[in-house]
Structure formats: C-alpha cells, structure tokens
C-alpha cells in the first residue's frame, strides 16, 4: 500500500466509523479508518470480516495506544493482514512502531509539534497526521494553521496528512499545494447517509455552526485530561460536575488519583454513544469540530469525497 495515493483519510470516529462507513470510504477512493475504542479482539475480528464483505479495497484501523486490549487488537489486525494502522492517544515509541511494522502494516501517528514529528520519523513512522485544535473529539491546544507552518513546512518530503477544520475542496486543494499528501477529515462525514448516527442527532448537527462547539478540559491541573471539542449542551455541565465530584472524593481520600482520573476519562466514551447513536441531544456527548459549519445536509460518502477532491 502506498499512503501517497490517498488524498482523503476518513478519520476514525468512535461509534460512527463502523464497517459500513469505512467500506463506503474505501469504495469512494479514500482511506477509511475503523474506530476500535469500544472493541475487544472478537469484536474487531467481526468488524474486519464485515468490512471485507463490503469492499475489496484497503482500509486502516485506528488503535488506541493505551488501550488494555492493544496487543489483542494488533494480533487480530495481523491475522487480517491490515495494511495501515493509526496509533492514537499516545506518541508511539520506536518499539511500538516496530511491533506494527512487523505485521506488515504502515504506521501513522499524530504530531502536535515539529519535535514530536521529527522523533516519530526517527523512530520509523510511515506518515504523520498533524491535527489542529479546530478538530472534533480529543484535541491539542495548537491550531491547524500553526501546525502547518511548524510541521508541514519543515518536513516537505515526508508524507503528512492535515487534520482539524478541513471541510471544503478549496482547503484540501490548498493543503496539497502547500506540501501535504492529503487531509484527514472526521466531522465532514458524521452526517453522511452511511453514518450510523441517530437521525435526530444528524439533523441537529446540520443546524450547528463552528461557534456552537467548545473545548472542555480539566478543571484541576492534577488531572491529565485530554481536552475534547464538542457541541455545547448539558453534557458539558455534567462533565464539569463529574470533575468536581472526583476532586471532592480525592480530597477526602476516598479514591486514588488514578481512580479519579478514570472517573473523568470514562465520561466521554459512555456519553458519546448516548449522543450520536441514541439521539440524546441534551445529555449525550456531541463531539464535533469547527468544520461543522460546512455540514449542510445528508450526502453519501461518495458525494462528499468526490466533492473534496474535485479541485485537485
């Protein structure tokens, strides 16, 4: 597989990037990425079989680097001869990258600074995704335009995909003109016809604009909570309440710092399903990036991808 052939990567989205969506992306010429955040080995095996029934083309799998199921999931990817793996939620070290390469897959990871990108390259990464703060889901603090200047402009010959706030064919064209291999998009696909998102949530997303999203993070710096960009609703208040509760339990020495951290981290994984699959617009998490402004209706994955690459 040559990653340079892909202009669009359909970024993994927990609960949303299921076999149907991934296969549709692959069939439309993009690199579809399966989300595995809520999976164990047998679930991944089933999902990969389902994708293979729906497409003959290559696709990628997103593995959460800190998942307790990581090794089990990698073994299933190896059994299925998966050609590309994106390691998320951590900066993979040399041994982790080598472990994936040993199964014959290309390895991609996220970089939020030039130094991180250079270290990843030194450690054998095949491509880098630079993802700015405009993105939906877990985010860093730096904007896409800064990361483009910091990383893309300093590594002109290395395969780099730009993510975070990409939502128009003009922007895809300009990223490629600036040296990117392509772009990774997530939010632009949430309301696609093939997305399993609840119809009510789809219609709500279509009505939203960039300014309706907020980044929520840690109330207290002792928690290393990764900030999350979501559409503002009551779940955001609930999240802060949950943190206040955890801080109180910790101060009273009723739980450990690790348990408090877990109490906070698990909030989003549970509530995302409620928001995007069950249609709970009030208390479910509604992860979305600022490119929600460009989601104006329900289109097929094919239509979205054709449009995104139409100016290249």
Ligand X SMILES: Cc1cc2nc3c(=O)[nH]c(=O)nc-3n(C[C@H](O)[C@H](O)[C@H](O)COP(=O)(O)O)c2cc1C
- Provide the binding-site residues for ligand X, judged by CB under 6 A: 11-14, 16, 35, 37, 62, 88, 131, 134-137, 163-166, 184-188, 287-289, 291
Minimal distance, residue 56 CB to ligand X, in Å: 24
CA–CA gap between residue 187 and residue 290 (Å, rounded):
8
Closer of 85 and 246 to ligand X (Cβ): 85
Closer of 134 and 194 to ligand X (Cβ): 134
Minimal distance, residue 161 CB to ligand X, in Å: 9
Q: Which two tokens stand for residue 57?
A: 């083309």
CA–CA gap between residue 34 and residue 27 (Å, rounded):
14
Minimal distance, residue 57 CB to ligand X, in Å: 19
CA–CA gap between residue 96 and residue 186 (Å, rounded):
25
Closer of 12 and 125 to ligand X (Cβ): 12
Closer of 187 and 233 to ligand X (Cβ): 187
Distance, CA of 303 to chain centre: 21
Burial of 107 (0-12, 13-18, 19+ CB in 10 A): buried
CA–CA gap between residue 205 and residue 167 (Å, rounded):
14
Closer of 97 and 163 to ligand X (Cβ): 163
Closest alpha carbon to 106 in 126, 76, 88: 126
Closer of 9 and 246 to ligand X (Cβ): 9
Outline where the chain has alpha helix (H): 19-27, 41-54, 70-79, 94-101, 114-122, 144-150, 169-177, 199-206, 234-251, 257-276, 301-308
Minimal distance, residue 244 CB to ligand X, in Å: 25
Minimal distance, residue 151 CB to ligand X, in Å: 15
Closer of 11 and 243 to ligand X (Cβ): 11
Minimal distance, residue 37 CB to ligand X, in Å: 5
Tokens 């335009």 sit at which residue? 145
Residue at shortest CB range from ligand X? 186
Minimal distance, residue 252 CB to ligand X, in Å: 33
Q: What is the DSSP letter of 202?
A: H
């Amino acid at each position: 597989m040559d990653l340079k052939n892909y202009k669009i990567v359909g970024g993994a989205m927990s609960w949303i990037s299921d076999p149907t969506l991934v296969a549709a992306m692959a069939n439309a010429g993009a690199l579809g990425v399966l989300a595995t955040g809520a999976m164990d080995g047998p679930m991944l095996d089933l999902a990969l079989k389902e994708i293979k029934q729906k497409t003959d083309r290559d696709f990628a799998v997103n593995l959460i680097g800190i998942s307790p199921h990581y090794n089990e999931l990698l073994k299933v990817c190896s059994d299925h001869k998966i050609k590309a793996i994106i390691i998320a939620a951590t900066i993979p070290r040399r041994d982790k990258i080598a472990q994936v390469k040993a199964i014959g897959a290309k390895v991609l990871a996220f970089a939020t600074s030039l130094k991180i990108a250079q270290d990843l390259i030194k450690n054998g990464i095949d491509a880098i995704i630079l993802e700015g703060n405009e993105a939906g889901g877990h985010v860093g603090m730096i904007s896409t335009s800064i990361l483009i200047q910091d990383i893309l402009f300093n590594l002109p010959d290395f395969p780099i995909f730009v993510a975070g706030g990409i939502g128009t064919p003009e922007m895809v064209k300009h990223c490629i003109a600036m040296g990117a291999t392509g772009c990774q998009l997530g939010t632009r696909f949430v309301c696609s016809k093939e997305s399993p998102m609840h119809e009510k949530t789809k219609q709500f997303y279509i009505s939203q604009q960039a300014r309706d999203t907020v980044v929520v993070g840690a109330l207290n710096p002792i928690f290393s909570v990764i900030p999350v960009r979501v559409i503002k609703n009551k779940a955001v208040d609930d999240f802060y309440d949950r943190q206040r509760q955890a801080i109180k339990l910790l101060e009273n020495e009723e739980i450990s710092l690790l348990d408090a951290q877990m109490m906070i981290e698990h909030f989003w994984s549970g509530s995302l399903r409620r928001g995007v699959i069950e249609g709970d617009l009030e208390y479910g998490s509604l992860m979305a990036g600022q490119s929600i402004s460009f989601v104006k209706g329900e289109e097929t994955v094919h239509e979205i991808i054709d449009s995104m690459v139409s100016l290249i």
